[in-house]
Structure 1
Amino acid sequence: MDTEQARFNMIEQQIRPWDVLDPAVLSLLSLVKREDFVPAAYKDLAFADLEIPIGAKGNPGQTMLAPKVEARILQELAIRNTDTVLEIGAGTGYMAALLAAKAEYVYSVEIDPELAEMARKNLQRSDVANVSVETGDGAQGWPAMAPYDVIVLSGSVPLLPDTLLSQLKIGGRLVAIVGEAPAMEVQLITRTEEKAFSTINVFETVVAPLVNATQHSKFVF
């Protein structure tokens, strides 16, 4: 496989048509080597328009998001070089590497210890120094380092818990995939005041749920 041609095709045929037109984001997708973060068994699919299984011991519920979804999320977040970022769900470390290339520092929380270790090794091998991969449950955020300028969730949630929103700085942005299959929306949420948030629905997709995500209350009659 001609890796650079495959990367070029991914950007031009998958990502640009999805309204990812920010030159900085497109440049980043060329610089951060996605193939270095894909499990060895799936290297040939590194640039394919699909989710790639990454779960430890073959857990199909854990995946890398499709490249166009990762790119669109990155564009919506509009990361600045002064931003402190919380990523919930490190996976293989690829999104953390993209975020870190634009942010001041990234805290990435991964509940699966094997994935957390994989992410650390991948980031170290790629010389990404401004990311800390924490092993733990980030479904309610990571208050130890709050507040954050940016929060991004790699799995879907039926609803966003207030504990997560409260960890955003005023002016901070959060991107999450909210809803339940078959209807999920990628939402960009900005904290405009202490108790006020604005929400923009960006696009529809369906991805695997975040482990231990807050569920809707069930009424018992």
Structure 2
Amino acid sequence: MRMTKDFSIQRQQLIDQLQQDGIQNERVLQAIATIPRELFVDSPFQRMAYANQALPLDLGQTISQPLMVALMTQALQLVGTENVLEIGTGSGYQTAILAQLCRYVYSVERYPQLSDRAASRLDQLGCANVSLLVGDGSIGWAEYAPYDRILVTAAAPHVPSQLIEQLTMGGLMVVPVGDHSQQDLQVIQRTQQGMQASSLGRCVFVPLVGEGGWR
């Protein structure tokens, strides 16, 4: 995608590309068109804010590729009434997208530095329906469970059982599962019989570190 100095033009170019890549949920596309991604990208990379690629953050973390953000968000099938648990606040960009689309977002981040920066950015946007926690996201946030949806933005070696337990019956979780080099992006639905899984394809995420993830 050719980059220009005008973020509004870049943003529209990105939306057009996402539609070509199969993102059809109008609410998701509108949220991505509304949230200024440049606010969440570290200054050396701001000119690339609307390139369809992951970009580095501090502490070895990344801000996900916009297509991956759109794909994962679309898979949650949000209608606006859900309480959502996000594992891995990171820059706060995905958090801001979710806040546009659901009732309330609870987001857990292991690194205080990233959580503090994300809080500042979300406050700047006026995202009032978000609560942030610094802690081990692999075990969720039991205080406000159960959640209608759970979005995991780091790679787990297996579907974390404690997150399944914090999901409502019939609720959906999107989680990358695999090893450190490559994962399968899975959509999990909790059922009376356990869980049903489907795949959105291959992906690469930073590892989910903690009790329910990588040690």
Shorter-chain TM-score tier:
over 0.9
Which of 178, 200, 207 lines up with 2:205 in the alignment?
Answer: 207
* Structure 1 residue 83, shift from structure 2 partner: 0.6
Deviation larger for 118-127 or 178-187: 178-187
User: How many residue pairs are counted as aligned between the two chains?
Assistant: 211
Structure 1: distance between partners of 2:51 and 2:211: 28
Structure 2: distance between partners of 1:183 and 1:90: 21
1:7 aligns with 2:11: yes
Structure 2 regions of 5+ residues with no counterpart? Answer: none
SS of aligned partner of 1:139: helix
Deviation larger for 112-121 or 43-52: 43-52
Q: Deviations over 1:119-178 (max 9, x none)?
A: 100000011100011111111111111110011111111111211111100011100011
Structure 1 runs of 4+ aligned residues shifted over 4 Å read none
Assess if the C-alpha contact under 8 Å between 1:116 and 1:133 holds in 2: yes
* Structure 1 residue 215, shift from structure 2 partner: 5.3
Assess if the C-alpha contact under 8 Å between 2:188 and 2:196 holds in 1: yes
* Structure 1 residue 216, shift from structure 2 partner: 8.2
Note the aligned Cα RMSD (angstroms). Answer: 1.6
- Match of residue 33 from structure 1: 36
| Letter matched to residue 138 of structure 2 | A
* Structure 1 residue 103, shift from structure 2 partner: 0.8
- Match of residue 147 from structure 1: 146
Which of 17, 20, 24 lines up with 2:20 in the alignment?
Answer: 17
- TM-score, normalised via structure 2 length: 0.93
SS of aligned partner of 1:188: strand
Assess if the C-alpha contact under 8 Å between 1:86 and 1:152 holds in 2: yes
| Letter matched to residue 209 of structure 1 | P
- Match of residue 163 from structure 1: 162
Identity %: 35
Structure 2: distance between partners of 1:40 and 1:31: 20
Matches within 5 A, 1:36-75: 36-55=39-58, 59=59, 61-75=60-74
- Match of residue 96 from structure 2: 97
SS of aligned partner of 2:188: strand
Structure 1: distance between partners of 2:21 and 2:175: 18
- Match of residue 84 from structure 1: 83
* Structure 1 residue 214, shift from structure 2 partner: 3.7
| Letter matched to residue 8 of structure 2 | E
Structure 2: distance between partners of 1:29 and 1:83: 19
SS of aligned partner of 1:203: strand
SS of aligned partner of 1:71: helix
